[in-house]
Amino acid sequence: MPVYQSSAFAFGSAEALAEAMAGPEGDCAYSRRGNPTVRTLERQVAELEGGRAALAAASGMGAISAVLLALLRPGDHVVAQRCLYGGTHAQLADLAERFGVEVERVEGGDVAAVRAALRPGRTRLLLLETIANPTCEVPDLPVLLAAARAAGAVSVVDNSLASPMLCRPIEHGADVVVHSTTKYLGGHSDVLGGAAVFADEELYATVWGRAVELGAAADPFAAWLTLRGIQTLPLRMRQHCANAELTAGRLAAHPRVRGVFWPGLPGHPSGAVAARVLDGGGGMLAFEPAGGRDAGREFVERVRVARLALSIGGVETLVTHPASTSHRELDDAELAAAGISAGLVRMAVGIEHPEDLWKDIEQALEGF
């Protein structure tokens, strides 16, 4: 697919241009409304997820913001998984403060709590993550999405950390699937992007209109880089999962590690659900080195093969300390409520040789 690095497109008649401006399916007229390279990415992501249509955005937060702002009205009730990406938490908090949206946070792994929180005819939206960031909690999507549908709520699932290779939430009943395509779809830490995939074309049209107004459009070259990344997605995901499995197992046996979170690890609270919902444990794990907050911060500064950097899903291993970065908006009580300890380290396991990575982890743990 070539890069259509054009902001506008010429037409032979005023009538043809007017028809192009009529909606999301018209010819491309202006790249904020549609671009050939971007539309190719949208079709590919929709096909991977089993959706009817998709829109690409400039970032994952652009995609989730477009969905939330298009679907929510003042006073609406939202049920949200307690452990969500920090940016999503911040967006929900802003909607609650400025527009009176009532946000009820529940444990995604507690089916009874989610069912109890849903208010038939009143709850507008259920928001979940396939694999929660950073605790790796996996909600029971088939059960929870069916409950949302029965309550008349729109269900939105962030599938960034699983990718369509490990889970396709629309197959389990989701109405909308969102992605930070920066993560596994792009896969090389060189592109920023997002996407929202829709099971229903009418819902897509509603959100598309708001996304155009917000100016959240994807750049054509960013879309092209993401298309390039998708070509190797199955190969990369297999290696991410294999490396994460080996690393999680060794961390769990390490004397200087208090706890490890990875969905495929025996004893993980979501292990049984993950075995049903996911086609692999994923490439992200989290662990708590002995020593609390200071130990977590020290570890991420000691690694050499892994890098201290934000994001997930690139070919290199990245580590962060969530309490001081992605979840810095939360105080200690809110961190604890979300299941995140002050010393927790998030590790996005790359595709390096696993022994090189493990030697690096071992030397960083020395002294705790």
Task: Cite the active site residues.
Answer: 32, 85, 158, 183
The DSSP string of 248-286 is HHHHHT-TTEEEEE-TTSTT-TTHHHHHHH-SS--SEEE
- Phi, psi torsion values for 261, nearest 5 degrees: -120, 115
Phi-psi region of 234 (alpha: psi -120 to 50; beta: other; left: phi over 0): alpha
Pairing of strands 123-129, 77-81: parallel
What spatial distance separates the first Cα and last Cα of the chain, rounded to whole Å? Answer: 51
DSSP three-state, residue 224: helix
H/E segment holding residue 308: strand 307-308
Give the neighbor-by-neighbor strand order of the sheet with 77-81.
53-57, 194-198, 176-179, 154-158, 123-129, 77-81, 102-106
Determine the residue type at 39.
R
The residue behind tokens 């994460």 is 244
